[in-house]
Amino acid sequence: MAAETPSTNPLIELAIVSSLPTNMRGLGFHVAFYLGRPEEFKITVSRDYQLLDDIFGLVLHSGLLVPYFSWKYSHRRHHSNTGSLERDEVFVPKQKSCIKWYSKYLNNPPGRVLTLAVTLTLGWPLYLALNVSGRPYDRFAYHYDPYGPIYSDRERLQIYISDAGVLAVCYGLFRLAMAKGLAWVVCVYGVPLLVVNGFSVLITFLQHTQPALPHYTSSEWDWLRGALATVDRDYGILNKVFHNITDTHVAHHLFSTMPHYHAMEATKAIKPILGEYYRFDETPFVKAMWREARECIYVEPDQSTESKGVFWYNNKL
């Protein structure tokens, strides 16, 4: 249905798609987690059709209020620098000396509930708008700034295009609210979008946060080490709903241009090759979310003298 959107009214179609079923499968997850991911647009269609990929990516991402090219480029840098404490782009853990003063007051069950609630509801827009949990830059960085430090000169025009797409959808939502009422737009668009964003943040958080996952400074980091500093997880039936981005993420980081429909096949192939370096966590995702929020507060150097550039999660404040 999403592919037909450009031939009619994209905003009305988006509202209809988002509001059809009330169960999770009807909350736009196919768009958000399959068609909505920049790397899928690079590989789902032949690489000879990059323009077509980008057109669909721009339309669908804009419909989710995500600046397509902006995130495409920052996400590409994430793939190039995964696990690096200095150059990774998202969910970059802080060292103990850099965590906020109020962290110790949130290191308890009520504090973790509050932290998770804010992260799952506001984490995605805060990352896009304020670079929250992102890589530290020498000046303010956010995804809507064509001249920000995230982007190179040759990428700036496409950032403008991404911003225009988001603004067009915002204007359409405004007109829709004027016609149907704000409550209607919130119910059929805002609530499904909130759920989509929440799962997007949760999945990404759990793919890159786990007590056994190392992070590296430049003295120890290399691309392969970083790619293997990710973890596959079991979401039960939701694995299929999310097109297996949850339980094939290690393979995705090793072969990011691989078509998604080979991800399961590739994961089965790499397991015996990687051996102990392949990480899979079968902990139910809700339990894992709580555990990682409790145990993965900051990172500190490995205690061995040979691995000063290797950092592990800790929670002792």
**CA gap 152, 71 in Å, rounded:** 13
Number of domains in the chain: 1
Select from 206, 194, 197 the least CA-distant residue to 289: 206
**CA gap 118, 130 in Å, rounded:** 14
**CA gap 118, 198 in Å, rounded:** 10
Q: What local confidence, expressed as pLDDT, does residue 303 receive? A: 83
Q: Cα 266 vs. chain centroid, distance in angstroms?
A: 22
Q: 17 falls in which pLDDT band (50, 70, 90)?
A: very low
Q: Are 254 and 270 in contact (CB under 8 A)?
A: yes
Q: 20 falls in which pLDDT band (50, 70, 90)?
A: very low
Q: What is the largest CA-CA distance in the chain?
A: 66
Is residue 2 pLDDT above 80, yes or no?
A: no
Q: Which range of residues forms the domain containing residue 6?
A: 2-314
What are the C-alpha distances in Å from 62 to residues 11, 70, 71, 174? 10, 11, 11, 15
Q: What local confidence, expressed as pLDDT, does residue 252 receive? A: 95
Q: What is the pLDDT of residues 179-219, one digit of tens each?
A: 999 999 999 999 999 999 999 999 999 999 999 999 999 99
**CA gap 86, 65 in Å, rounded:** 28
Q: In what order do the strands lie in the sheet with 310-314?
A: 215-216, 310-314, 298-301
In this structure, is the dihedral angle defined by the CA atoms of residues 6, 185, 21 and 197, taken in order, positive or negative? positive
Q: 10 falls in which pLDDT band (50, 70, 90)?
A: very low
Q: Are 112 and 293 in contact (CB under 8 A)?
A: yes
**CA gap 11, 8 in Å, rounded:** 9
What are the C-alpha distances in Å from 93 to residues 123, 225, 254, 286, 306? 15, 17, 22, 21, 22
DSSP bridge partners of 141:
none
Select from 99, 205, 199, 89 the least CA-distant residue to 149: 89
**CA gap 73, 65 in Å, rounded:** 16
Q: What is the pLDDT of residues 46-93, one digit of tens each?
A: 456 788 889 999 999 999 999 999 999 999 999 999 999 999 999 999
Tokens of 12: 């009305």
Q: Is 243 left (phi over 0), alpha (psi -120 to 50) or beta?
A: left
